[in-house]
Amino acid sequence: MSPTPPPVPTCSPRSNAVASPSTCWSTPRGVGTIGPVADASVDDEIAQVRVNVEAVIDLTTRAVQQMVRRGRGAILNVGSTTGFQPFPGQAGYAATKAFVRSYTDGLRGELAGTGVTVAAVHPGPVRTEFLQVAGMDERAFAKGFPEVLVDAVA
């Protein structure tokens, strides 16, 4: 299940300007499972690793290789605040987002002096289809984050 990158990525979802892969690239925000690992579907746990880790490696590597050859570009990887601490009930998801943080930090060091920059954004809870896809009731989830669940920026 290796996703194919779109032919022309956009640098900003609010922008009408389209950037070539040599200019700007943003990885997908990812998917996740919710609930104890003991009750989880193995296929669902593996699928989140494929999207949140494998796809980040695949898409970032392809973009970086083009950007370094051209001597310019920017990568923005999408992590999560869950990547900074253990998160019972979302252990696998938090681990994949910790990967995004570590991978991005390491890649930033590798790319120093190439003209290519890399950064990660780590949003907290954002109102998107994420909870619905994960099978979680938004109201039940929001009780843990009553003041910070916001509408998606994009």
What the chain holds in terms of domains, given with CATH numbers, is: 24-126 (3.40.50.720)
Lateral strand order in the sheet of 73-78 = 24-26, 73-78, 116-121
SS3 67: helix
Catalytic residue among 25, 67, 77, 93: 93
Report whether pLDDT(112) > 50: yes
Q: DSSP alpha helices (H): ranges in 10-90?
A: 42-49, 55-70
* Segment 10-33, tens digit of pLDDT: 343 333 333 454 456 566 566 777
pLDDT in tens, 62-85: 999 999 999 999 999 989 998 998
* Residue 118 phi, psi (nearest 5): -140, 140
93 catalytic? Reply is: yes
Please report, to the nearest 10 degrees, the dihedral formed by the alpha carbons of residues 107, 78, 49, 57 taken in order: -30
d(CA 140, CA 53): 27
